[in-house]
Structure 1
Amino acid sequence: MKSITISSATALVIILFIFSNKIVAQIPTAPGTTGNAENLTRETSDPTQEFYARVSPDGKFLLYNALEISYSLTLTNGKLEQKTNKKYRIVKKEIGKPITNPLVSNAAYPTWLPDNSGIIFSYIKPEKSVIVRSDNNGVGLNYVSAGAMGEDDAEPAVTRDSKVIFTTLMSNTRMICSMDLKGGNYSVITEGSHPSLNPNDNNKIIYNIKVGKFVQVFTMDIKTGEKTQLTTGEYNNRDGSFSRDGKYIAFVSNRENPKKENKHIYVMKANGTDLIQITQGETDESDPAWGTDTNIFFSSNAEKNYNIWKAKVKIGK
């Protein structure tokens, strides 16, 4: 089997030829917001794809994923094949300041330890991703577990009593699990993904799970096992995040136009009532996370690149 790797310049010409007769949708330069939001601000503007923002306990810094995507075209036996190359790293920045500080390569899904003493994340350099922690500058990689608990350990969060909540793949199913900071007392909690802690009650988590054809937002008391479905409908609702006082939940949904994949930010009370829409239009938003003063940080593909934005939400007291 003979293969020929095509140069990036040649690849660009081929791609332009393929799409020359197609109409590409115009993506706005900023996310559209409803009257329920104000002070929309762009936090990052790097050429990498940036998502999964997490705000430090003191509200001063951000951690987020930076994904660099490159493409190569290979001609094999007369067939043109495209290969996607991905490089992940964790980045830290001071909120409101332009300077970014790359911390750890081959790592993703970062978040802060609750006492602000360090960070915890998924280290994807080994054959199977594992949970690792370090100091706030990414120095000193301390393996929480000696080896992967499943096929892909990811999305860690740490409770105030030092329990690590994370997800892993088991028999191709994403499961939410727990262990201590030394990798002991391992247990499986439930099927699901994207777990997030209630800051006021670390026994309660919010997470995604598919119900029928659509993803929905659930909460669970991990002490009692009680589960509550907060969203319904024939569209995807996902990526819930509790506000710092535990009274509100931000999440994303494509309910504005279920025929499209692009999602927008919504906010509801912690019991699933009083839903309001925050972003709207032709952009795609994901991974909302609460900062201080009802600010929500999120990723948006405005200007055709996923960067971190923030907006202040108008909610009742």
Structure 2
Amino acid sequence: MRIAVTGSKGQVARCLAAVGPSMGVDIVAIGRPELDLLHPETVLSALSAVRPDAIVSAAAYTAVDKAETERDLAFAINGAGAGAVAEAAVRCGVPILHLSTDYVYDGTKAGRYVESDPTRPVSVYGASKLDGERRVAAANADHAIFRTAWVYSPHGTNFVRSMLRLGESKERLSVVADQRGCPTSAEEIARALIRAARRMAADRDEKYRGIFHLTGSGEASWAEFAREVLHAAEAYGRPPVEVMPIASDQYPSVARRPANSRLSGEKLRQVHGIVLPDWRISTRKVVDILLGRSTPLTASCIGMGERQ
């Protein structure tokens, strides 16, 4: 099986490239300039040249705060760009698996969000990703949209890497404690996407299409997430770091974040038989990779261009 992935530098794209060979899948990661979501005319030619069996739409504009002043750019990439990828998948005759986000919700629900809950984004980024979901669904019936949250990995910029960096030089850190979500490993996302892509390519049943929540098992606040990361680092001789819980209004940001980002993965379990590991297990695995105990994931794919 061959899967084309939009973007080549993002966390999920890099993890797909790393785990694909071990799962018997060729991953072709395509980024700029060959595929540029700001230039939709590049999308079909780049993807069709790969001759994929499925397409993972992973490239996105992810600068949450900057999106508040770069609305047009965010919507061009996350909205129109995602739609162009879905249209290309139709032309290629293959399913599209599109990555979305918890930010499509407003975070006011008391419990975990299910896929049928109303979407009410409170930021430009969330609104642009919701626009992308709608464009993907309108363009291509053969789609699965995966909403994920709090993504981390050994690659790029993410919360785990930030906590490890800050923990090297500080005795205490102030971390938001009134936002809760489901920390999710990009490696586990990649494995789940490959399983779902394989199923969708082989089985046309509509139940495998639609919207799914794809997050790590369990839940945490950002402060609890930080404590787990820093505690895992102590096994490598790092000194303890005290995590001081604070409220969101003590850590002001340009864009609003949902207070509740907890997503239910029950539909994904029932339909695709996929359950991601507890976030603590996956977090410790990433810390082990970053601090040297485990062998890091290495990419083995056909790379075409780059996307920052």
**Structure richer in strand, relative to its length:** 1
Q: TM-score, normalised by structure 1?
A: 0.30
- The structure with the largest helix share of the pair is 2
TM (norm. structure 2) is: 0.31
